[in-house]
Amino acid sequence: MFFGGSLCGCGFRAECEAAAGWSLTYSRAGLAVWVQLLEPDKSLHRIKCQMECKDVAAETLYDVLHDIEYRKKWDTNVIETFDIGKLTVNADVGYYAWKCPKPLKNRDVITLRSWLPMGTDYIIMNYSVKHPKYPPRKDMVRAVSILTGYWIQGKGATNCALTYLAQVDPKGSLPKWVVNKSSQFLAPKAMKKMYKACLKYPDWKQKHNPHFKPWLFPEQSTLPAVALSELSIQHADSLEHIDESALSETKDDRGEASDEDSVN
């Protein structure tokens, strides 16, 4: 799934544009969410979000998705995130842990991420890998990103559109309310939060190492090199299966926060 591998940027873009098998769960004010159930008994599904980003240049959105320090400011679902190492000038390995709605256990992933500018468009994709120094943690459930990515479409100098496509195995039998809540509430909320973060990013970046963008200037990267031989694809069936299907929804959600959270 590296851009030199079996699924290139064009293939991912085709996946984003496909309509067959998707069910629309949310559509409001330039933001739409679809779900595709793959294995209903296991809650395995794909989610697709599309959002029009007015007054946000494609380059800005691309920077926001890459900037790990800024993500710690605006992504209120993040517990911990850091880069592990680089494979090439447009591929790295990283760790991301996030809050799940109570009473579910929180999840984390190790992913190999690659990115590709395509004219006025940009694509960022990732999939799960195993790294010998970062085995599953006892306080987290190790999820598996089968295919996750972003397609940014430039719409002139100051506007763009974003498609987010994810197929993540949460490693467990989840109650149906989780899938419903993710597609109808949590995903739209996360996309809106990302959009607000994009609007604030230029001012924030001016105050925080404004010229440091190793995703654009790889010579700036200080990450250690990671050999592909150190990694292996993380298959879902090799991880512990967590049965949370009987858990009931609670009002206090760790995966939710105010839209007004400051990123200054």
Which residue's entry shows tokens 């949590």?
186
Q: Specify if 144 maps to a domain.
A: yes
Give the confidence band of 105 by pLDDT, cuts at 50, 70, 90. confident
Distances (CA, A) of 195 to 103, 160, 192, 244: 28, 11, 5, 32
- What total number of domains does the chain contain? 1
pLDDT single digits (tens) 86-102:
999 999 999 999 998 77
Indicate the length of the chain as a whole number.
264
Residue 234: the pLDDT is 76
CB contact at 8 A, 236 and 168: no
Residue 238: the pLDDT is 59
* Cα 153 to Cα 189: distance, rounded to the nearest angstrom: 21
Residue 264: the pLDDT is 46
Give the confidence band of 40 by pLDDT, cuts at 50, 70, 90. low
224 CB contacts (<8 Å, ≥6 apart)?
85, 86
Q: What is the mean pLDDT of residues 133-148?
A: 90
Q: Specify if 29 maps to a domain.
A: yes
Residue 100: the pLDDT is 85
pLDDT single digits (tens) 64-73:
999 999 999 9
* Cα 174 to Cα 148: distance, rounded to the nearest angstrom: 19
Q: Specify if 237 maps to a domain.
A: no
Residue 96: which domain range? 5-209
Q: What is the mean pLDDT of residues 120-147?
A: 92
Has residue 45 got a pLDDT over 90? Answer: no
CB contact at 8 A, 60 and 70: no
Q: Specify if 163 maps to a domain.
A: yes
Q: Specify if 215 maps to a domain.
A: no
Q: Specify if 220 maps to a domain.
A: no
Q: Specify if 262 maps to a domain.
A: no
Has residue 153 got a pLDDT over 70? Answer: yes
Residue 261: the pLDDT is 40
CB contact at 8 A, 170 and 239: no
Q: Residue 202: which CATH number?
A: 3.30.530.20
Give the confidence band of 104 by pLDDT, cuts at 50, 70, 90. confident
Q: Are strands 78-88 and 31-39 parallel, antiparallel or unpaired?
A: unpaired
Using N-to-C axis directions, what is the helix angle for 187-207 and 58-66, rounded to 10°?
90
Q: Specify if 95 maps to a domain.
A: yes
Has residue 263 got a pLDDT over 60? Answer: no
- Pick from 250, 221, 254, 231: nearest CA to 77: 254
- Look up residue 201 and give its DSSP letter: H
| pTM (two decimals) | 0.85
pLDDT single digits (tens) 194-229:
999 999 999 999 999 999 999 999 999 999 999 989
Q: What is the mean pLDDT of residues 10-37?
A: 91
Tokens of 176: 């149906």
Residue 39: the pLDDT is 67
Q: To the nearest whole percent, how much of the chain has pLDDT over 70? A: 79
Q: What is the mean pLDDT of residues 156-170?
A: 91
Has residue 23 got a pLDDT over 60? Answer: yes
Neighbours of 106 (CB within 10 A): 19
Mean pLDDT of the chain: 84
